[in-house]
Structure formats: C-alpha cells, structure tokens
Structure 1
Amino acid sequence: MYVYADVIILINFIMNSIILALTAYAAGISIRWKRLLTAALAGGIYALAGIMPQLAVLYGISGKFFVSVALILLAFGRKPIKTILILVGIFFVVSFILGGAVLGWLYFAQTGTPYMSGNVGGLSWINLAAGSIMAIIIVTLVARRMFSRMYRRQILYQAKFEYEGRYSEVTGMLDTGNGLYSLLGRRPVVLLAQQAAVCLLSPQAADFLNQNSPDTWLANLDKCPDTAWLARVEVLPYQAVGSRSMLLCFRPDSITVMTEYGPVKTANVLIGIYDGVFTNGGNCQALLHPALITGVNTTKEAGTCVLPGQ
C-alpha cells in the first residue's frame, strides 16, 4: 500500500483551514489568516503521525486533545484558560459537524446497495467539497449565534465608575477596536451609556444632559451650572459607524474593572458619554478600552458595539 504524504497534508490542510475559520466565525472573533493557515498546516503534518507506529500516542484521546489545544493557540494566540477551553469545544463541535456533513453527503450521494459496491468510502474531491459546503451552511445559519454567546460571556467585565463620591456599576465589554485617547495626556477613553453616566453626576449636571439633546450638549455647555464638572470636561473627535462627531467626555475619580486576575483600578482615564444603544443590548453598558487592563490580560477580543477611534 502506498501513502502519499503530500495528498494527506493537502487534504488535512484544507479541512483544518475550514474548521479553524468556522471556529473563529462561530465564536465571533477576528481571523489572522497567517496564524490560521500556519496552524492548519501544522495539523496537516500531524495527520502523518497516523502512519508512524512510534507516534501512536498522539492519536489517543489525550493526545488529540492536547494537539487541538496547540492548534487553537497557534491559530488564535495565547488567551485565558476559560476562553481556550471554549474555543477547543467549538473546534470539536465544528469538526463533528464537518465530519457528519461529509458522511451524510456520501450516504445521500451513494447509489446502489451500501457496502456491496466495492467503493465503501467513495471519498472524492467533489464529495469532500459538497460536505464542506453543507457544514459551512450549518455553522453559518445555526451554530454561530449559540457559540458567540458562549464566547462573549468570557469578555464581559463588571466595571465600577467613581466620581465625586458617587458610584455606577455596569457590565462592560472589552473592545480591542477602541483606539480612542484624549488629545492631552493620552488618557484611554471608555464609552459609557448616558443612563449610567448621569448616575455619577451631580443633579445639576444630570439635568443638563437629560434636558438637552445630545447634539446640543457642546453648544450649551456654558449653561450647565456645575462648574466643578465642567472643569473636568474634555471634547474629543471620534468616528462612529458611517459618521464623524464630537464626543463629550469627563475625567472620573477612578474606574475599577473586575477581571479573573483580580480588580484593576486606574484614574488615568476619560469617560465618553454615549447617547446611543450598544448592539450587545442591555448587557453592554460600556465599551472598555484595552489599555485599562494592559499587562493583566491583553488577549481577549470582542465584537465591536460601536466603532470609536481616531
């Protein structure tokens, strides 16, 4: 029997690329194609271990699990353990969906009496492509919403905002696409929903925000009677989806973010008052700047609720 190593590597490279891409899509995270294709190639090379008796340990249950973890790390980078386990789980489920779709297509496309035609496998490039397309459709239409909810639970943080003795505790989402800094002092900017922001402010400042429409806040700032708050106000240009605008910000006393590594507290930050609705719904009341937890955990990713930036 002849084993064509190049064919084995090529088939597994293609299948691994599809599985890893679907894993990223189902989890709702970004894809770095160079890393993903490198991991897919490593998985293709790993497939050759099946023809080497001395490497049989790699094809045991524990061996396959650790190889899967290695592929996830190679494809998506170092992440917290919980996130890695979720991605590995999604990787396995997508693999099962893909394998089941290919076998299902083979059974559907097979003609004649099963097991009697002498071509039990029937695996060809056409059947492989057809099964892969079925798996892509299943993951795209059914699995992504379920998996993305599982993944996003890992990138939501409880955050506590403090200003002049007042506190507001909200659920915030870490947004690695948030690149907004203050013009002076390079303070990272956190977007906070208006309803949560007014809880921090004095009655005078809160009334000013509530009684004026957001597009007139800047024009009417001189009418706000809270001069202490005005002394902390900064106005920044920012980019939202399809538009550019000016963002009303103020300096809080501190922000504390609860991470799995413990609380992270900083005063070197600005709060941008956001009058819109974050697409994550009521669970997302703030977009947290990644600089808030740099050095503690910088590897989490999030779908962007809004696109702040320079």
Structure 2
Amino acid sequence: MTVYLDVIWALNLLFDSLLLYLTAIFLKRRIQIWRLLAGGFIGSLIILLSFTPLHAYTSHPIAKLICSMFMILIAFGFKRLSFFFKALMTLYVSTFLIGGGLMGAHYFIQSDLELSVKVLASSVKGFGDPISWLFVLIGFPLAWHFARKNVEGMEMTKIQFDQIVNVQLQIENETLHFKGLVDSGNQLYDPLSKLPVMFVSVKNQSESVPESIGKIAAADPEQFIMGNQKVPDEWQHRLRIIPCKVVGQEHQLIVAIKPDLILIEHNGVQYLCEKGLVSFTMQQLSADDAFQCIVHPKMLTGPKQQGGAVKVS
C-alpha cells in the first residue's frame, strides 16, 4: 500500500495550526505566526512518529495529551497555571467542535450510494480514499469558519442580552412596556433642557400603542413647525422638536415627548428616570425584534428602586 506521508503530514500541520488559531480567537489572545506554525508542527509529529517503532506509544491517550500540552506551551507560552489549563481545554473544545461538525455532516449526507462509493474508492490504494480526503479538505475549512462565526455570534448575543432592559413608560393614563437596548452610542440630548432622549419603535405595535402616539411617530417634524400638522391638546406641553445628526445626513429634526414616568429595570434593579424624553419612530430598531427602544445610558443614573424602596446613589 502506498502511503503519501508528506501529504498527510502537511495536512495535519495545516489543521493543527488552524485549530490553534481558532483557540486563540476563542481566548481573545494575539498569537504570532511562528508560534502558531511551531505549535502545529508539534501536533503533526504524531503522524510522523506513527510510522516509527514508537507508534505504539504515540497512539496512547497520554501521549496525545502531552502533545497537546506542548502545543499550548509553544503557541501561547506559560503565564499562569489557570490560563494554561483554560487554553488546553479550549483547544480540545475547538477540536471536538470541528470534528463533531465533520462527523455530523458525514452522517447527514450519506445515502444508499455509500456502498458504490466504497467500491469505487477501493480500487485506489493509499492512506484513506480520495472521497474521504476530499470531504475533509472541503469540510474542515467550512466547519472552522462555521464554528468561528457562530461563537462570535453567540458572544454578540450575550453582550446584547446583558444590555437588554425592561422599559415602562407612563403618559397620561397610558402605561407602555417595551424591551430596550442600552446603547452607549446614543448621546442625544435636548439642546435646551439637556434631557436625554430615548428612541422607541412603534412599528408593528399598533394594538398596544395609542393612536395619537402612532400619528406623532409617523408625522414629519417640519409639519409641526409649519403648523400644518395639528398637535393634540393633551400633547401640547409635552412636545419637543430636537435637532440631531445621523449617518448620511448633516441635520435632522425629530419629535420627542416628555412622559410622566420612565422606569427601567435591569438585573432586578429598577431605575427611575424623572427627566427624560422619548422619540417615537416607525422605523424598526431591531431586525429580529429583540428590543423596541434604544435607551440613553444617562437614564440608568437615576434613583434605584429595590423591593419598592427608593435608593438614591
């Protein structure tokens, strides 16, 4: 049987290096190219040693564990014991993630033609068959990319979830409830009163939002200024016209309302915002409707309420 040792070793060097790179991404660590390749080279030595009298030892789980430890030491160095074990476990998680993805894809696409494929591949001698190597060559980069993107997506979802708050607005006799995202990039204030502004989307919320708010959200601010748009009497003392800057436009006017109460709940703590403005819009702020409003971070600096008691910090 012909064994293409150089090809097998080169592929394992590449795969081990990519696994170390994926580990570095998960750990949020910078890694030098030479360390990455050196760690991959250590991992690929098992392939070379498998064709020596030491093959009985290199196939042992303890030998593989020692090899993995050397890969981590060379790629990341030794800073402290806790980081070393964290990096080692992350390497195994990356390996199982990629390997599990390849196995799942293999069992997903296999069909009744598998027998004929094996018969066809049996005529080609070598270390494995061309079908399996082609599958690995195509599947490994795809699984690597899929794992990286999904982990990054989960991290962004976690970050976003940590910033999701419950928002309660009280205007006249109406009490409105929304999911809000605390956005440090929202630094809009009313230039006259210096009150922070919160953006609330009322799109697809016609049943829970009063008709008067929906009309204000859909109205053109300039129509209020020109007097072409009538303002309901109960909103006369609440209405504000605020200039703002958005991407692609130098200046823009928005309509804001001063509610009677803004109550924000985050991690079991309620923040009472006594001075703030709300700008209702018909634009959808979240593509997946995870939140309906963008909360100004200044609104979380108000008095805290825990168990009905108010705590001023």
User: Counterpart of 2:172?
Assistant: 164
Are 1:49 and 1:58, in contact at CA under 8 Å, matched by a contact in 2?
no
| Partner residue in 1 for 2:191 | 183
Q: Is the counterpart of residue 291 in structure 1 residue 288 in structure 2?
A: no
Q: Number of aligned pairs?
A: 215
The 3 A distance-change label for structure 1 pair 270 and 233 is same
Gap change, CA 1:44 and 1:228, over 3 Å in 2: farther
Residue 93 (structure 2) pairs with residue 96 (structure 1): yes
Distance across 2 between alignment mates of 1:197 and 1:272? 16
Contact 2:224–2:231 (Cα < 8 Å) also in 1: no
Name 2:275's counterpart in structure 1: 268
1:224 counterpart residue number: 230
**Aligned with 1:291: secondary structure?**
helix
Residue by residue, what CA displacement relative to the aligned partner does 1:103-130 show, whole Å, maximum 9, x if unpaired? x9xxxxxxx979xxxxxxxxxxxxxxxx
> Deviation of residue 270 (structure 1)?
0.8
State whether residues 198 and 276 of structure 2, in contact with CA within 8 Å, keep that contact through their aligned partners in structure 1: yes
Question: Aligned match of 2:181 in 163, 173, 183?
Answer: 173
Change (3 A) 1:47 1:216: closer
| Aligned residues of 1:98 and 1:135 also touching (Cα < 8 A) | no
Stretch deviating more after TM superposition (132-141 or 152-161): 132-141
Q: Secondary structure at the match of 2:161?
A: helix
Q: Deviations over 1:42-80 (max 9, x none)?
A: x98995548xxxx7x647xxx845x99xxxxxxxxxxxx
Q: Which residue of the partner structure matches residue 254 of structure 1?
A: 261
Identity in percent = 15
> Which is greater in Rg?
2
Cα distance change on mapping 1:199 and 1:252 into 2, 3 Å: farther
* Deviation for aligned residue 1:228: 3.9
| Structure 2, gaps ≥5 residues long | 1-19, 32-71, 102-125, 129-139, 305-313
What is the rounded CA distance, in whole Å, between the counterparts of 1:197 and 1:179 in structure 2? 28
Secondary structure, aligned partner of 1:284: coil
* Residue 288 of structure 1: how far off its partner (Å): 0.7
1:306 aligned residue = none
Kindly indicate whether the alpha-carbon contact (under 8 Å) linking 2:264 and 2:270 is maintained by their aligned counterparts in 1. yes
Query: Where does 1:89-128 land on structure 2 (aligned, <5 Å)?
Result: 92=90, 96-97=93-94
CA distance in structure 2 between the aligned counterparts of 1:207 and 1:290, rounded to whole angstroms: 25
The equivalent residue for 2:64 is: none
Residue 166 of structure 2: SS of its match in structure 1?
Answer: strand
- The SS at the match of 1:181 is coil
Mapped partners of 1:252, 1:198: distance in 2:
20
Inter-partner Cα distance in structure 2 for 1:296 and 1:140 = 41
Q: Distance in 2 between matches of 1:155 and 1:192?
A: 16
Aligned Cα root-mean-square deviation (Å): 4.8
CA-to-aligned-CA distance 1:64-106 (integer Å, 9 cap, x gap): 45x99xxxxxxxxxxxxxxxxxxxxxx94x873378769x9xx
